[in-house]
């Protein structure tokens, strides 16, 4: 599979580093989304500091649907998911600057919180992942 394009970023060990890092849980078999495409993804969001879950599309039984790369979600999602292949499951570590920043998202997300998301990219446009069991996409 061809690599997806993610903007260059500093190493997570650099002082003041910010952005999104990704570790693959399950490889995807499809293509990567492009800016402006509608994507469907399941996710579970937790605070990086203590692992407390603050949101889950899986718990609601309905994936999140949004247009990628236009700022309709946090910057870490736009950049991280554009670097995922269709059908991939990945863990995204998103620094506060690429999430909710100094204001946080009270009451669940405190100010300056780094976030972890496990994301499954289920669908890009009309193209569903072969492994997807999503009937709500």
User: Does the active-site annotation cover 124?
Assistant: no
Q: Which of these is catalytic: 68, 81, 109, 117?
A: 117
User: Does the active-site annotation cover 43?
Assistant: yes
Calculate Rg over the CA atoms of the chain: 14
Q: Which of these is catalytic: 54, 66, 97, 114?
A: 54
User: Does the active-site annotation cover 55?
Assistant: yes
Q: Which of these is catalytic: 55, 97, 114, 116?
A: 55
Q: Please say whether the beta carbons of 98 and 76 come within 8 A.
A: yes
Rounded to whole angstroms, the Cα distance separating 123 from 15 reads: 36
Q: Which of these is catalytic: 68, 94, 100, 124?
A: 100
User: Does the active-site annotation cover 126?
Assistant: no
Other Cβ atoms closer than 10 A to 3: 8
User: Does the active-site annotation cover 66?
Assistant: no
Q: Which of these is catalytic: 74, 94, 109, 124?
A: 74
Q: Which of these is catalytic: 43, 68, 81, 94?
A: 43
User: Does the active-site annotation cover 94?
Assistant: no
Which active-site residues does the annotation give? 43, 54-55, 74, 100, 117
């Amino acid at each position: 599979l061809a690599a997806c394009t993610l903007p260059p970023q500093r190493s997570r060990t650099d002082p003041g580093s910010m952005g999104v890092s990704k570790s693959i849980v399950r490889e995807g078999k499809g293509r990567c989304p492009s800016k402006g495409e509608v994507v469907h993804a399941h996710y579970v969001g937790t605070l990086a500091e203590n692992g407390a879950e603050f949101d889950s599309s899986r718990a609601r039984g309905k994936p999140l649907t949004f247009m990628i790369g236009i700022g309709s979600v946090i910057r870490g999602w736009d950049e991280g998911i554009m670097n995922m292949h269709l059908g991939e499951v990945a863990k995204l570590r998103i620094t506060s600057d690429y999430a909710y920043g100094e204001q946080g998202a009270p009451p669940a997300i405190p100010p300056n919180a780094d976030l972890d998301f496990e994301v499954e990219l289920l669908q890009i446009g009309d193209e569903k992942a072969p492994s997807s069991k999503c009937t709500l996409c």
